[in-house]
Amino acid sequence: MQERMGNPALVLPAAMQALNALSKVPAENGLSPKLLELVNLRCSQINGCSVCIDGHWRIARKHGETDERLFAVAGWRDAPYYSDAERAALALAEALTRLSDRADPVPDDIWDEATRHYDGRSLAALVIAIANINVWNRLNIATRQIAGAWKP
């Protein structure tokens, strides 16, 4: 496969600045880098973004994430490696990534579980993180960015 064009965020530097600024908000509001990378990886798996799948496991490893947890994130519901808070974040990430898959895209049970583990600021930061990785996935997929070209 050949890329269609350069990544739009690189073509338009103001977009890159905005997305990079947005990507800092979740950690600045108390979310752990390891959690954020699990969320980034899971959303990217759902969306089929090979660039982000390839990049975010690398970032997660730099933050001390284990191979065991990285390999199992696609099956997090059945894997014993995740805390209840991580499970709530992953469930929310899946719901917000698969908006058209159900009539109520973010059911109350998923939202309520997330509110049990995250306060208002950290929940807002989590929603921002999920939205941001979905933007990156869409930019990469639309323009057919090549996995492995970005090595974080």
- Residue corresponding to tokens 């929603």: 127
The two structure tokens encoding residue 53: 């799948």
User: pLDDT digit string (tens) for 27-66?
Assistant: 999 999 999 999 999 999 999 999 999 999 999 999 999 9
Q: Are 42 and 130 in contact (CB under 8 A)?
A: no
Residue 151 scores a pLDDT above 90: no
Q: Are 52 and 19 in contact (CB under 8 A)?
A: no
Main-chain dihedrals φ then ψ at residue 27, nearest 5 degrees = -70, -35
Could you tell me which residue, 152 or 34, shows the higher pLDDT? 34
Q: Is 35 helix (H, G, I), strand (E, B) or coil?
A: helix
Which tens digit of pLDDT belongs to each residue from 90-149?
999 999 999 999 999 999 999 999 999 999 999 999 999 999 999 999 999 999 999 988
